């Protein structure tokens, strides 16, 4: 097993304070709106006072499982977490990939309704739920900011339901890629390189398709001139506008004539 290190955040010199990020869903322009930290410096400092830093050294480790008692809430500082649930037949559905600035683990009736696992090496802030509740009662603005974050996650879930129910495989894949492009942790806009931190198994279980279908979908986007695979984890995005057009179901002229 990989070692998990825990250190009280207030006793440790950290590179950053806890962040909780969200963005507007208003589509005023064709450019995706930026994801911004919702917390003030004061709120970040208050959260750090009750936080413990957890470091998971590799992917594939379980943070909590569905049905467990929920005593903590988590915020991601580095790395990627997958949130999933299993159907009665045992089939896994990945509900979300959580990235730096995301909040997860909010209890439902005192329990976790989903499973959270590391996709990569991860650094987390862990907050005791009851202490966080008391802090929100003392700090109404903090409560509001966390509510904004929860509402953001609800809108994301609604978007995914619509996409899985109405859009083609190519559109679903474009949607996922565009979501990762918003994060500088994974996308270098200068050279157009996207480090996609998920494998084809996770990709398929998130998009609700077979693994072979996920591989063929990436190959099709490459033939269409929208991207180029560099290695198993890195993709060069060649046509961001083309990806947006595909995700919206619009035809776009491409340099490819295949």
Which tens digits make up the pLDDT trace of 115-124?
999 999 999 9
Q: How is residue 107 written in tokens?
A: 């209890």
pLDDT for residue 166: 77
The token duo for 185 is: 């942790």
Centre a 10 Å sphere on the Cβ of residue 92 and count the other Cβ atoms it contains: 16
- So what's the pLDDT on residue 33? 54
Tell me, what DSSP letter sits at residue 108?
Answer: B
Task: For residues 194 and 255, give the distance between their C-alpha atoms in angstroms, rounded to a whole number.
Answer: 21
- pLDDT at position 123 is 96
pLDDT number for residue 5: 62
pLDDT at 254: 46
Check residue 193 and give its pLDDT. 96
Residue 4: what pLDDT? 65
Neighbours of 125 (CB within 10 A): 26
User: Which residue, among 180, 210, 172, 208, has the nearest Cα to 85 in the 3D structure?
Assistant: 208
pLDDT value at residue 155: 85
d(CA 122, CA 97): 13
Compute the distance between CA of residue 135 and CA of residue 152 in angstroms, rounded to an integer: 21
- The H helix count followed by the E strand count for the chain is 7, 15
How big is the CA angle at 159 (ends 213 and 61), to the nearest 5 degrees?
Answer: 65
Is the CB of residue 194 less than 8 Å from the CB of residue 187?
Answer: yes
Give percent above pLDDT 90 in the chain.
Answer: 58
The predicted pLDDT at position 243 comes to 94
Rg (C-alpha) for the chain, rounded Å, is 19
Taking the CA atoms of 62, 67, 68 and 72 in sequence, report the sign of the dihedral they define: positive
Structure tokens belonging to residue 252: 């776009």
How high is the pLDDT of residue 13? 47
Per residue in 95-116, pLDDT (tens digit) is 999 999 999 999 999 999 999 9
pLDDT (tens place) for every residue of the chain, 258 residues total: 555 666 676 655 445 789 988 865 554 444 455 678 899 999 999 999 999 999 999 999 999 999 999 999 999 999 999 999 988 787 888 999 999 999 999 999 999 999 999 999 999 999 999 999 999 999 999 999 999 999 988 888 887 787 777 788 898 899 899 989 988 889 999 999 999 989 889 999 988 888 899 999 999 999 999 999 999 889 999 999 999 998 888 755 544 433
pLDDT of residue 79: 94
Contacts with 250 (C-beta within 8 Å, 6 or more apart), sequence order: none
Residue in the block written with tokens 């931190």: 197
Q: Report phi then psi at 220, rounded to 5.
A: -65, -45
The pLDDT value given to residue 145: 92
What residue ranges define each of the domains in the chain, with the CATH number in brackets? Answer: 4-166 (2.60.120.10), 169-247 (1.10.10.10)
Assess contact for 150 and 156: CB atoms under 8 A: no
- Count Cβ atoms below 10 Å from residue 90 Cβ, excluding itself: 6
Contacts (Cβ under 8 Å, ≥6 apart) of 42 = none
């Amino acid at each position: 097993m990989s070692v998990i290190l825990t250190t009280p955040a207030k006793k440790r010199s950290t590179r950053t304070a806890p962040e909780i990020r969200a963005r507007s869903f208003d589509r005023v322009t064709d450019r995706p709106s930026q994801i911004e930290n919702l917390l003030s410096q004061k709120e970040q400092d208050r959260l750090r006072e009750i936080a413990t830093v957890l470091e998971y050294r590799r992917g594939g480790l379980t943070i909590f499982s569905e049905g467990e008692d929920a005593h903590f809430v988590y915020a991601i500082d580095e790395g990627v977490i997958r949130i999933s649930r299993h159907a009665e037949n045992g089939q896994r559905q990945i509900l979300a990939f959580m990235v730096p600035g995301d909040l997860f683990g909010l209890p439902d009736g005192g329990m976790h309704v989903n499973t959270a696992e590391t996709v990569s090496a991860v650094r987390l802030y862990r907050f005791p739920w009851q202490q966080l509740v008391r802090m929100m009662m003392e700090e109404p603005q903090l409560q509001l900011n966390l509510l904004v974050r929860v509402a953001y996650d609800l809108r994301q879930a609604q978007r995914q339901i619509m996409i899985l129910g109405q859009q083609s495989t190519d559109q679903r894949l474009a949607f996922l890629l565009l979501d990762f492009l918003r994060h500088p942790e994974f996308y270098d806009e200068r050279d157009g390189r996207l480090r996609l931190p998920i494998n084809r198994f996770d990709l398929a279980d998130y998009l609700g398709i077979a693994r072979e279908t996920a591989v063929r979908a990436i190959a099709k986007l490459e033939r269409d001139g929208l991207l180029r695979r560099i290695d198993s984890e890195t993709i060069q995005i060649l046509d961001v506008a083309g990806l947006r057009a595909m995700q919206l179901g619009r035809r776009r002229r491409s340099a490819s004539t295949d």
